[in-house]
Amino acid sequence: MKYLIASEGMSIEDSVSPNFLEAPYYLFYDDWLDHFEIISNTIETDSSYVLKKAAESGARTLICGNIDPGSFVAAGLSNMKVGVAPPISGRRAVEMALKRQLLIATAPTVRD
């Protein structure tokens, strides 16, 4: 399966970011191949573009700590569900998602 992970670092072993928009990095992760691509979140980074690119690569789940209303809607438009992870590693969050133990958001978790 493929995932978009809002990450605090450049590795799948780093913590899931507490906030999607403020994540220092976005990882496009393929658990089958155990491979990921990194996008640095800079002032020029468009979160809608990141979500669209992830969806086009086959990702169906976004993993983050919290998500704002605009990003939640954009994820839905990209046919991605939002997995809300506690402060754990990206790898552990993916393991939880595979076991269906990761909370799936039905609404934004933070306000704009």
List the strands of the sheet with 2-7, edge to edge.
35-40, 25-30, 2-7, 61-64, 81-84, 103-104
In the chain, where are the structural domains located? Answer: 1-43
With a cut of 60, say whether residue 43 has pLDDT above it. yes
Per-residue pLDDT of 16-26, as tens digits, reads 999 999 999 99
What token pair was written down for 96?
């939880």
CB 109 within 8 A of CB 67: yes
CB 92 within 8 A of CB 83: no
Q: Is the pTM of this model over 0.85?
A: yes
CA atoms within 13 A on the CB side of 65: 15
Query: What's the start-to-end Cα distance of the chain, in Å?
Result: 30
